[in-house]
Amino acid sequence: MVALTIEDGVATFEVEGADKLWALRSRLQIPLAHIHGARIDTEIAHGWWHGLRAPGTSVPGIITAGTFYQHGKRVFWDVHDPSRVVVVELADERYDELVIEVEDPAITVATIASAVGAAGRNTAE
């Protein structure tokens, strides 16, 4: 699972527990200006193939974690439970998308949307 904090124009996605080992990452820090959107997507994690692993862990139906190349994109995954998946769309970052399991997808998406909107207003001023 991944926990989100937002501070000083940066979203920090903290990989929790043993998932740090499986994903080979403990934290991703993304400037809000590089986040283009976030959405709940419970279907994306249901398939058995999530792309080419490089590096990461994939045990269908149990865990997908780490870096995967999928449809010409570099995607970071950390998912056990497909019903709690949020997809974060990025630009000008190492990853094109983050596919992550969070505690509350609706709150996470709203938090990201609010922070990105506020950051955009501050930049325009």
**Mean pLDDT to the nearest integer, 66-84:** 92
Which residues contact residue 7 at a Cβ distance below 8 angstroms, ignoring those fewer than 6 apart? none
In the predicted model, is pLDDT for residue 70 greater than 70?
Answer: yes
**Mean pLDDT to the nearest integer, 76-95:** 96
Which residues contact residue 109 at a Cβ distance below 8 angstroms, ignoring those fewer than 6 apart? 38, 39, 40, 86
CB-based contact 22:120 (threshold 8 Å)? no
Q: Could you tell me where the beta strands, DSSP code E, fall in 32-62?
A: 35-40, 52-59
> In the numeric block, which tokens belong to residue 2?
């991944």
User: What pTM did the predictor assign?
Assistant: 0.89
- Which tens digits make up the pLDDT trace of 14-25? 999 998 988 889
More confident residue, 122 or 71: 71
